[in-house]
Amino acid sequence: MRRVYFDHNATTPLAREVLESMTPYLTEEFGNASSIHSVGQRARAGVENARAQVAALLGARDKEIIFTSGGTEADNMAIRGVVGASERPRKHIVTSAIEHHAVLNTCQALEAEGVAVTYVGVGRAGLVDPEDVRRALTPDTVLITIMHANNELGTLQPIAEIARIARERKIPFHTDAVQSAGKIPLNVAELGCDLLSLSAHKLYGPKGVGALFIRRNLRLQPLMFGGHHERDRRPGTENVAGIVGLGAAAELARAHLAEEAKRLAELRDSLERRLLSAIPHCGLNGDPARRTPNTTNLHFDFIEGEPLVIALDLKGVAVSTGAACSSGAVEPSHVLTAIGLPPERARSSLRFSLGRASTPADVDYVCEVLPAVVEHLRSLSPLYTKPIPAPAR
Ligand code: PLP
């Protein structure tokens, strides 16, 4: 059976070049990067080379990159770090309703500790209006955190405009760029953000490693306490092989960014166009233009996303729903409900996220199997009545 992996927003395979860069650090170059002997110093050189590679992907200075255990830790470090460093008696955060749970649940945890949070809504396209961010600010606002690309829709937020508002008010601005890093060009000077999170496993690097860009001179309280690693910002013996892998992944992404983005957008558009024309009662969720090149999110009315994912898996196709299964009940995705989809349409939605190994033949295969899978599942649905074909003339 053919296998098609269209779930690159969940995770990506490790690139061969990345594995090759990591292997020496898992074998002979096993040193502790803090040791002063040459074994340690070779590990240190690997870490510092990776820091320069990640900085180059973002247009940042090397010293502005701190390695973490992934996107979740980078988001936590940014949010808790800025809030914890603020000496204001009352603190307020502005974020959006469509953030990843790494941001949403950190904000919710802070709310339980007495921090006020405003969750700015989005329109049908899934875009935050910068003026809504401006209106949400209060004299107590200590942080704005708005994601760059949404993981479910791919929608790209107007980060530079929001950054301008943050700068006018001298409020630190964090963006979660886990879903845009490596997919589209990123430059922290152009984006204007003060903090930016990324994660290696979304860009063909290893799982369990990420980075936080922290603009020079920004005050941040550390999440953890221990040794003096990472300029006192993140203690713990460095995950040298993982960090080296992130660096190699960043360099690889940077080398092929423009042509790969174009290739993926063409493939994604072809997939989307063909599915929309072949399947009745099917539509696009989110903005058709302002999004990452690899992502499309479609609803298939009258069916549930979960059985659709399972039926496609049986045909060798990996895709995902944005829904979360909590205590046995499938909750519709908070992102899809935030853009105004009714719960049943949100539950009928699938995310297709293409990647480096995706080919036109993969798109052909999905376009071949999906219409029949949808038709079959709909035939089992009591709510579905087949559209009446137009009379022959
Ligand atoms: N932020 C976004 C937008 C994500 O999509 C993800 C992962 O799905 C994360 C944060 C968390 O990253 P990690 O899996 O490295 O903890």
CA–CA distance, 332 with 334 (Å, rounded to integer): 6
* Diameter over CA atoms, the chain: 85
Nearest-atom number in ligand 1 for the CA of 151 is 5
Residue 381 pLDDT grade (very low, low, confident, very high; cuts 50, 70, 90): confident
Chain segment 237-265, per-residue pLDDT in tens: 999 999 999 999 999 999 999 999 999 99
Which residue of 77, 179, 292 sits with most ligand 1 atoms within 8 Å of its CB, as the best mutation to test the pocket? 179
Q: How far apart are CA 254 and CA 356, in angstroms?
A: 13
What average pLDDT does the structure give for the chain? Answer: 95
Span 62-85, average pLDDT: 98
pLDDT of residue 139: 98
Question: Residue 183 pLDDT more than 90?
Answer: yes
* φ, ψ for residue 66, nearest 5 deg: -120, 130
In contact, 46 and 203? CB cutoff 8 Å: no
Where would I find the H helices in 138-187? 159-168
Which tokens in the block code for residue 58?
A: 């973002």
- Ligand 1 centroid from CA 39, angstroms: 33
Q: Where are the alpha helices (DSSP H) in the chain?
A: 16-26, 38-58, 71-85, 101-112, 130-136, 159-168, 188-191, 229-232, 240-278, 305-314, 334-338, 343-347, 360-379
Establish whether residue 154 lines the binding site of ligand 1, counting it when its CB lies within 6 angstroms of any ligand atom: no
Backbone phi, then psi, for 301, in 5-degree steps? Answer: -55, 155
- Looking at ligand 1, which atom is closest to the CA of residue 199? 15
Distance 221 CA to ligand 1 centre (A): 22
pLDDT at position 29 over 70: yes
Q: What are phi and psi of 198, to 5 degrees?
A: -145, 165
Q: What CA–CA distances, in Å, run from 89 to 58, 86, 174?
A: 34, 9, 21
- DSSP state at residue 70: S
Question: Does any ligand 1 atom lie closer than 6 A to the CB of residue 72?
Answer: yes
Mean pLDDT of 161-172: 98
Task: Indicate if ligand 1 lies below 6 Å from the C-beta of 378.
Answer: no
Q: Which backbone phi and psi does 358 adopt, to 5 degrees?
A: -70, 140
Q: pTM score, two decimals?
A: 0.96
| Probe residue for ligand 1, chosen from 199, 223, 294, 335 as the CB with the greatest number of ligand atoms within 8 Å | 199
* Displacement of CA 117 from its chain's centroid (Å): 22
Instruction: For tokens 């090759």, name the residue.
Output: 20
So what's the pLDDT on residue 389?
61
Q: Would the pLDDT of 53 be above 90?
A: yes
pLDDT number for residue 356: 97
Mean predicted confidence (pLDDT) in 190-201:
98
Report CA(311)–ligand 1 centroid distance (Å): 26
Angle CA 71–75–80, to nearest 5: 150
* The pLDDT value given to residue 373: 98
The conformational region for residue 126 under phi > 0 = left, psi -120 to 50 = alpha, else beta, is left
Is the pLDDT assigned to residue 322 strictly greater than 60? yes
User: Is the CB of 100 within 6 Å of ligand 1?
Assistant: yes
Q: Which CA distances in Å does 338 have to 41, 120, 121, 332, 333?
A: 50, 10, 7, 10, 8
Helix (H, G, I), strand (E, B), or coil: what is residue 20?
A: helix
Is residue 324 predicted with pLDDT exceeding 90? Answer: no
Cβ–ligand 1 distance for 151 under 6 Å, the answer yes
Provide the percentage of residues in the chain whose pLDDT is more than 70. Answer: 96
Q: What is the pLDDT of residue 304?
A: 93
pLDDT at 385: 75
Name the 3-class secondary structure at 102. helix
- What was the pLDDT predicted at 386? 66
Q: Are 280 and 296 in contact (CB under 8 A)?
A: no
- d(Cα 361, Cα 227) in Å, to the nearest integer? 51
pLDDT tens digit sequence for 100-139: 999 999 999 999 999 999 999 999 999 999 999 999 999 9
Q: Is the pLDDT of residue 323 over 80?
A: no
Distance 72 CA to ligand 1 centre (A): 6
Q: Average of pLDDT values for 1-20?
A: 97
Using CA positions, which residue lies closest to atom 8 of ligand 1? 10
What is the distance in A from the centroid of ligand 1 to the CA of 279?
31
Q: Which are the catalytic amino acids?
A: 325
263-304 pLDDT per residue, tens: 999 999 999 999 999 999 999 999 999 999 999 999 999 999
Mean pLDDT of 144-149: 98
Residue 382 is predicted with a pLDDT of: 81
* Rounded-to-integer distance, Cα 197 and Cα 220, Å: 14
